[in-house]
A and B are shown apart, each in its own frame.
Chain A
């Protein structure tokens, strides 16, 4: 039997793909990769078990996927889907139907937490438990091996039992963990799923040749009986599952049971749980029993239908106390689901058994992928041993509010794998890839077991990745983070000062450093705390400048080969020569077709790594070197949280130090509300180089300020006197705009918050005439500038902001002096979305309320530990919330109607308040708030009102509602996945109404947040995930559809093509007193472009006609003008040339050149046709174009 080192998702997908004919998919973390595998295999023409290539079809939502699944099953095909979390909830109605109709299918679920107080992409069983009533069988696997095995068992059992199965496994912990597993070959699948089962399933499908009707409506007289008619199928299912498991065991040697007991035959204390936690529990039980305890573990495999007899029979007769652990929470319930069921089983069984009922307790663990460790397992056994164990508890957190948590002895450790390593890397630097490759090499070249698990943070740029690796001669059951590591590797020097990465280093172990410093300086450069830890743990320190080697060999920032070679040099899991040859072979295999240079460079990297890896002595008392002392970038940075409140420090500091697990319950808000303006405390220092301003060359146009995705470049105009105390080197120049005559202009960069994307340099229009390669903004290395830039930035922030009312917002250079209230997000470096959000925050932030659809913008906008949404000096700023992916338009509409109602009430109160000066009342009620001065004046009136109320009506309800008299600018923000696909129905409904809302669609033309899957916004000819063969249909023209309503303001903008048009559109949209839709072209990392050239790509999209610039303003109709203004000239750039600049289009040419040519021609024709269609519409007489169909 062959083996492979793969993750849980791939293990499942490999089986599901072969056993199905139709796969209806939709991306959702952490299940997305299963659909991606299926799509990729189908695109490559790989057949299933019976020789046909499955149809893999992406839907607009999980609800849609479930509908297709249901339909395909009714058509008598073998069909499946993959999902998780909210996606599973959207499938729920169909699950009842599919189960009610006794239809065989398997849904593979990478189980994930449901969004409550916050969204979490991580694993627990909350989603699966929400389906308990559906009638689906629930089969749980706990490891990568089991995930693949159970995918097969579930399918066979489903076809035999005629029940739909939810096969679930822990999101991330199993779905993303790599282990070497035994693969299931086709013969086994054929034996498990014989043709007659398939034929029977097909015969149950709908056919006009033998018609039936299904899905009837039943009356009270028979519906109940009909519901009970299926009982025999549910009753028979457990036995069928066991039979299939037995058959599987006979075929593969891997035996499973409905309930698997592990531990002492005479155990008195037993733990019951399911999923990956059971693996950790097994490791712990074995360690405890080896130490003389008598404990046991019952792994639950089939949770529904629950075979209580089998459950009880699997328990040892000696049992006296049981703890049931649930990886979910049901607030307000008597107990969590598994605990309830086990309790029921015990009651039933002990009604007929002698002796006392075992003591039963239960608790929650591991919610949202909280690491579940052996120490926690032991804590539960310890609780069971107490004479008065708590009936309900939590384990793994410190609950200082309801005091439910069990005490855990963190020092308890059962690590048994022969070699363990923890590797800290920078996102996308190749660290994770190197470690995955190492696992594969070990798996492919030895009989050793190897495991890799990878932890990512919530930033899309400059993220920290942590790889947890284990290698062992015996099977690895440790489904938890490495607690004691023989090797700790730090691939990014700056991490050393940011958090304690030696906490898990085993005494006597090794620290591997990717150091920018020569070996002789390493010891001196290490932070004192790290030196101290090294000495205390007697660690050996090895150093290499991997970044330099990669750079010298032309490998860019990819240090994977170097660090992988070092890993094997230090890991001692393979003989050195064998390891080196395996690395070289992997290089030839991976890069062989990609050209001699890549292969050669990587092979050279192997040799260079061996030669330059060097042990670094750490003396007992290492003095700082002169070089280190002279290097200002090495000086301890001031505490960025120094300016934060104590409450914020308490909340944020531990999270930034990667110690968030230690925060007690009391530190967290119970309702999910957090302060804004916290991203400024991070000071991530992730940019290699940052922009530096050249005052002589600059024309002060504001373009760089406008495009900066992270709001790190800002400008101010101040009186020269304000600069009297400016720190040395603080750059400024005489203001060029005559509006600011006599004043000073300054442009500053938050170097510690910059991501170094370079968009600012790209858009800078001013060239240095003496050296045209330089502009008014040039990138320079960040480290030497860091210290000075920090001082300059702080001084810059202390300078006054311009009077908002005095700015001419029609001009970018003046408008860009507005303070951004969206800053330093964790979006990708060079993100194409955030400049639009920042612009909205500058223009309307002080009165803005944002409904944000789930997606990239909700992640970089609302992921802990900090948020980029911030407030101004008056404490005003955008209020933000995320409901779901699919309902954002409706959610925002709720804001609107809510605020409108509050305003109606406040106006009524205003009218009903006796004695209020008439002028004030009238002013408040009739205020014109369409622009900045109008809003300013209204705020002044509200201040006056408050003063009057305080003096004359201090108890009036108007006190609470006075602020509602000021305009509320409601914004719905989201990506194309939301607006074009999953949320389109709601969006359309909101547009159709007349409410004053502003909808900003950040159109990246793919599902960016989940890794670039096709949406209906994906353009013709683009390759995306789920569209491996290139999208064969045109992009949906959402703007045109909205325009047909007539009353909707619609703008299509691309900041890289026209900043002025973008600005005009935002101002017009917000001022329009009805629904406004802004479609904002957002270049994206998923397009396969150099992100520093993102704005140029936007320009090319417009020049080629692939993206149009226009504004449709219904107010123009009232003035007798055509509402539509086309803001871009006829396409002049050949579509082929424009498309060639983006990898997503080039990819198709690589694989299907004919199709690429044909689609490019089609795209060219369609672009021209569309431009002419819009031009004709814009040129039509006003009446003809008003609300006219296209």
Chain B
């Protein structure tokens, strides 16, 4: 007897399962790792992010070093060869796309990360030519300018999405942070700008400090179970409200986590931290757990449960809103212990 059907679609791409490898350099920057991920059941791989600021920064660096110290002393009017690279900053990324396409059959999704300016259209076109099958556009932003309103920033991001979607025929998913005034409204605007999907959510990198050396310390913390909650809630809220595909990102560590996210409406779940902790074999483990759960609960396919617990279809729509928060806090043992009063 065949097991449950795990097949799903995301951004119009037919996938063998909802288990997609999320964007992370340690997982996809090494061209030898992608075939291993595919062997372990990855339905698609989102390549690590190409940072638009990095490309522009590379060009500025290139320009700077072309000029630095030049035309100053008669014997050394320049210090670097004059050849301008064709794909400065993205040549390596394009090679990775081409290599991945050659070596695996699963869809390869390119990830672009940026929040302003940049040579978006040209970069997207080059990525499309290299063979990527979709684009994940990561609008990672940490606004710090007190003079600029949230509305201005959202308009800027929408313009980027529009530019990218106009420049390519590939489907585009937008990866967002949870920090929007009205995420539902913004999601609708993103759809209008051409996006086909949302990836929820970015986890912000949070710096630390070294109290001995009085310096900043950069280290990335892997996601935990708590990180599952924001995508779970927001996919549940948005599913059905906006005609977009949803990818859940953050905190997936068990087959049941995948089930939960599918139930609130996710098309796919992105897995990163769990793979970084346990290696590519963890994909197969997740798949086994997912299959087992589906069999145990007599689901013939993931489509049978997808969206069943979204806000529109769940038995308690208020659970995802403020009322549930009030309820949860007031009944929390921790809240009681602290004498919290709301």
* A contacts, CB < 8 Å to B: 29-30, 32-33, 36-37, 39-40, 43-44, 121, 172, 176, 427-428, 430-433, 454, 456, 458-461, 463, 465, 556, 558, 591, 593-598, 767, 769, 772, 828, 859, 1008-1012, 1023-1025, 1028, 1085-1086, 1088, 1143-1144, 1146-1147, 1149-1154, 1156-1157
Contacts and interface: CB of A to CB of B under 8 A. Distances in A.
11 contacts: A32-B75, A427-B73, A428-B72, A463-B72, A593-B122, A1012-B78, A1023-B80, A1085-B79, A1150-B89, A1154-B95, A1157-B92
A29 B75 contact: yes
B75 A1088 contact: no
B146 interface: no
A1150 B80 contact: no
The 10 A-B pairs of least Cβ separation, nearest first, read: A427-B72, A1153-B92, A1011-B76, A594-B59, A595-B56, A432-B71, A772-B214, A1150-B85, A1151-B85, A456-B74
B82 A427 contact: no
A1150 B81 contact: no
B65 A1088 contact: yes
Given A456-B73, A465-B71, A593-B84, A1086 B79 contact: yes
Nearest to B93: A1153
Contacts of B119: 593, 595-596
Contacts of A428: 67-72
B304 interface: no
B33 interface: no
Contacts of B85: 1147, 1150-1151
B80 A1088 contact: yes
A17 B56 CA distance: 34
B186 to A, nearest CB: 24
Contact of A172 (B59, B62, B65, B74): B74
Nearest to A599: B119
A346 to B, nearest CB: 39
B153 interface: no
A598 B59 contact: yes
Nearest to A554: B60
B83 A596 contact: no
Interface in B82-136: 82-89, 91-92, 95, 117-119, 122
B63 interface: yes
B73 A459 contact: yes
Nearest to A430: B67
A1119 B170 CA distance: 74
Given A597-B117, A1028-B81, A463 B73 contact: yes
Interface string B33-73: 00000000000000000000001101111111101111111
Contact of B76 (A769, A1012, A1154): A1012
B77 interface: yes
B92 A1149 contact: yes
Contacts of B58: 1146, 1150
Contact of B67 (A433, A461, A859): A433
B214 A767 contact: yes
A433 B91 contact: no
A769 B211 CA distance: 11
Contacts of A43: 81, 83
* Chain A CB within 10 A, most for which of B69, B71, B77, B84: B71
B59 A593 contact: yes
A427 B186 CA distance: 51
Contacts of B76: 460, 1008-1012, 1086
B91 A460 contact: no
Given A767-B214, A1150-B91, A591 B63 contact: yes
Contacts of A1012: 76, 78-80
A493 B78 CA distance: 25
A175 to B, nearest CB: 11
A14 to B, nearest CB: 14
Nearest to A829: B69
Contacts of A40: 81-83
B81 A36 contact: yes
A43 B81 CA distance: 10
A327 B83 CA distance: 36
Given A597-B117, A1143-B65, A454 B59 contact: no
Given A1010-B75, A1011-B78, 4 more contacts: A433-B71, A460-B73, A465-B71, A594-B60
Contact of B88 (A433, A463, A593): A593
Contacts of B72: 427-428, 456, 460-461, 463, 465
Contacts of A172: 74
Nearest to B29: A1157
B99 to A, nearest CB: 9
B31 to A, nearest CB: 9
Contacts of A432: 71
Contact of A595 (B59, B78, B87): B59
A687 B62 CA distance: 25
A726 to B, nearest CB: 33
B83 A594 contact: no
Nearest to B214: A772
Contacts of A1156: 92
A595 B80 contact: no
A795 B85 CA distance: 54
B62 A1150 contact: yes
Contact of B81 (A769, A1009, A1023, A1152): A1023
Given A1088-B79, A1150-B91, A1151-B83, A29 B74 contact: yes
B67 A558 contact: yes
A1152 B71 CA distance: 27
A432 B78 CA distance: 12
A595 B75 CA distance: 31
B203 to A, nearest CB: 24
Contacts of A176: 74
Contact of A597 (B56, B73, B74): B56
Contact of B117 (A460, A596, A769, A1088): A596
A249 to B, nearest CB: 33
Given A172-B74, A595-B55, A1023-B80, A1085 B69 contact: yes
Nearest to A591: B63
Contacts of B79: 1011-1012, 1085-1086, 1088
A1153 B91 contact: yes
Contacts of A29: 74-75
Given A1009-B76, A1143-B65, A595 B81 contact: no
Contacts of B88: 593, 1150-1151
A558 B84 CA distance: 20
Contacts of A1086: 69, 76, 79-80
A455 to B, nearest CB: 8
A63 B215 CA distance: 53
Given A36-B81, A43-B81, A1025-B81, A1151 B86 contact: yes
A1088 B63 CA distance: 11
B63 A598 contact: yes
B283 to A, nearest CB: 25
Contacts of A1150: 58, 62, 85, 87-89, 91
A1153 B86 CA distance: 12
Contacts of A433: 67, 70-71
Given A36-B82, A44-B83, A1153-B95, A595 B118 contact: yes
Contacts of B64: 556
Contacts of A1009: 75-76
Contacts of B74: 29-30, 121, 172, 176, 456, 458
B61 A1143 contact: yes
Contacts of A1008: 76
A121 B60 contact: no
Nearest to B61: A1143
A912 to B, nearest CB: 51
A172 B73 CA distance: 12
Contacts of B68: 428, 1085, 1088
Contacts of B78: 1011-1012
A636 to B, nearest CB: 28
